[in-house]
Structures are given as C-alpha cells and as structure tokens.
Structure 1
C-alpha cells in the first residue's frame, strides 16, 4: 500500500470518527429517552463510546478475516505486506488520532492520562507497521481484541441509563463480555504462542 493511500485511509477514518462523534451519535442517541437528560460530560463520554464501539466492530471483524483468510499476511506473519492488514491498521490510526484529539479537547469530561499514553503508544506501533511494512499480521491479530470493546461499552451504557444489574439485558451482556474478553484477550494469545513455537 503506497503512502498516499495509507494517509488517505487514515484521514478518511479520522473524518468518519469525527462525524460519528459530533453529529451521528448525538442524533441517533437522542432517540434514547434518557440521553437528553444526561449531563454534557456524560453525553461527551457517550458519544466517544459510540465511536469506540463502531471502530472496534469494524476493525475486529476485519482482523478476523485477515487472521483466517489473508494469504499475504498468513504466508509471512513478520514481513508479509498485507494490503488488507495495512488498511485495517490505517483505519485504527485514524480512529486513534481522532480519539486522542477528543481526549484533549474534552479533557474535563473524558480526559485520562492512561488513555492518552495508551493511544500514543498504539499510534507509534501503528505508524511503525505502516511505515516499515512489518508486523501487519501481528498488529491485526492484536486488533482482534477489539471485539470485546462493544460489550465493555454496553456495560457503561447500561450503568449510565441506570439499568438494574439483575435485568436480563445486563446479565446477558455481562456473560458475553466475560466470554469475549477471555476468547479475544486471553485465549487467543495462548493460541499464538502455541502457533509460533
């Protein structure tokens, strides 16, 4: 993937995330009865989590496809130059820049030094993958972990909307969150260690 295409993908991802945050999430979320009653800080956090959920679903599913079916990445996990892998990393780069900007702009509502350091660290890794053309497969494998994020965000939505912890939706989400977290953040790393040994 050439530099212009990578930068275009990063910019498009950034722009889409900004539009989701500033326009789409607020418009869509206003249809949820309790959203309009939230404080400005909660609405900012809400919109940030909507964007996070959208990003995690896109890159998580894309990463699964790359992990199982992208021949360029599978053939050489270290040096393989995967077009799909680079697109997915570029999408994540755009999201991270967007979210980092939002963290800075809305520091009083959602700012957290740990998130800022996390975003900068992951941004560095993404830029390294895109610039050097290495580790696209491993980088995308790591993005599979994003598949647990929608459940974590949904838990926050339930808490914010004051759902009962004994409600069916709350319990189902909790079980799914635990299962997905184990599969995509714990079990998958053991599978890779087995595969690489």
Structure 2
C-alpha cells in the first residue's frame, strides 16, 4: 500500500472521528431542538448516522464520477488504472475502521453483528485493491450501494424525533429508501455478477491468484446476502408505513364525515 493511500485512510479515520465528536453535535443542536432532548445513547447513534450520511454522499458521488469518466477502469475492470478508485476505497476503509472502533466502544447500545460482518468483509476485499491495485472496477461498483444510506439514516432521524409514521415526509422517505436501496443494492446484482463471470478463465483473472480470487468472490457473496436480508426488512417496514398512512387517512376521513353528519343533525 502506498503512502498516499495510507495518508488518505488515516485522514478519513480522523476526519470522521472529528465529525462525530465535534461537528455533528454542534450542527445538530442548531438544526433541531430535538437533538438536545435525546438520551446519551441516542446522541451517540445520531452523531454516528450523521457521519454515515456524509461518508455515503462523498464516496457514492465519487463512485458515479469514476464510473462515468474513468475510461481506464471501465476498459479493464480487473487491472485498469486504480488511482482514483484507490482514493475512494481509502476513504471508505478509513470510515469502516472508525465505525468498527465506535461499535466496539458502544457495543451494548450500538452493537450489530450484521454491520461487523459487513465491515470486515469489505475491509478484507478492499485490502487487495489498496495493496495490489486489482479489481478497481468491481471495488468501485460496490460503492454505488452507499447511495441508499442517507435515506436509511433519515428514516431513523424521523423515528427518534417522534414523527408519526403517517407524516408525508416519513412516507416519502420510506418509499424513496426502498426504491433506492433496491436499485443500488439488489437490481445491480445481475449485471455485476455477469461482469464477474465474464472474467472467469481469462488471463486477467488467473493473474489475480487464489487469495485475491477468494477474497473477491466470498466478500461479494457475503455482502449480497446481507443486502438481501436488509432489503427484506426494509420492504416490510415500507409496507407498514404505507398501510399505516392509509389507515390514518381513512380515520381522518371518517372523522370528518362523522363531524359533518353531527353538524347536519343539529342544523336539521
């Protein structure tokens, strides 16, 4: 791993830590009064999700830029010039290390074995990208999934601030979260795996060696299993939000009808 990537990773780790401990508390307390009324455990998770959203926007948008304009990576997905991809991956690795430390320090309130598995699988695979510069296209393609994270975090923000599930903002975010999560994590699976299978048996694939091949394939399988599980949970949550919103509208409509009938009886 080159000094540039190590520096970016260290800077990412420190920067996200500062965002968690300094920037998020100051900014959140200004933006919403509800932040100051949260218990300490929820404050930690609030700041963590703020950092998560910022990271997702940075690497997700950078990922789209690389997919659109990095011709070398698109032309040779296994051994293409990885310079920009390595920067993006280094930012993500710094974030993943920061988040693992945070989870370890707050395991009783924030611990989640799914996230630990996700982070370790990603770090294992991204280590080959940073150390050997291999699989830049596939590593970068995986980062598209981060674009769903801001919607997932926003759902939690609404919930912790006690927005009713029938609120239009909650419903809109729930639908957007489900759609975007599906598009960037589930719908892309066929095309991604088609590209993976297309490399099998090629000289470029053989040059990777067994260790990189195993790291690549096993981490992808683990991540896709986790994404499928999360998709199932998100879909169930979206369904509950939509049905709850319809029930609330029905109750409101019935209430207005009852009031109107009551008024008519008195006027008669």
TM-score of the pair, normalised by structure 1: 0.94
2: CA distance, partners of 1:158 / 1:38:
13
Pairwise CA distance, 1:193: 4.1
Question: What are the ranges of 5 or more consecutive residues in structure 1 without an aligned counterpart?
Answer: none
Residue matched to 1:136: 136
SS of the residue corresponding to residue 120 of structure 1 reads helix
Give runs of aligned pairs for residues 42-121 of structure 1, distance below 5 A. Answer: 42-121=42-121
SS of the residue corresponding to residue 187 of structure 2 reads helix
Superposed CA RMSD: 1.4
Instruction: Map Cα deviations across residues 97-142 of structure 1 (whole Å, 9 max, x no partner).
Output: 1111111112222122332222122111111111121111101101
2: CA distance, partners of 1:102 / 1:195:
35
Aligned partners of 1:70 and 1:82 also within 8 Å:
no
Instruction: Map Cα deviations across residues 13-56 of structure 1 (whole Å, 9 max, x no partner).
Output: 11110011000011111121111111111000111100011101
Pairwise CA distance, 1:61: 0.8
SS of the residue corresponding to residue 34 of structure 1 reads helix
1: CA distance, partners of 2:165 / 2:107:
29
Residue matched to 1:9: 8
Instruction: Please say which structure displays the higher CA radius of gyration.
Output: 2
Residues 1:21 and 2:20 aligned together: yes
Residue matched to 2:225: none
Aligned partners of 1:44 and 1:109 also within 8 Å:
no
Instruction: Map Cα deviations across residues 153-187 of structure 1 (whole Å, 9 max, x no partner).
Output: 10011111111111111111112111111211122
Pairwise CA distance, 1:9: 0.5
1: CA distance, partners of 2:102 / 2:146:
19
Question: What are the ranges of 5 or more consecutive residues in structure 2 without an aligned counterpart?
Answer: 199-268
Number of corresponding residues: 196
Structure of greater relative contact order (alpha carbons < 8 Å, 6+ residues apart)? 1
SS of the residue corresponding to residue 78 of structure 2 reads coil
TM-score of the pair, normalised by structure 2: 0.70
Aligned partners of 2:82 and 2:134 also within 8 Å:
no
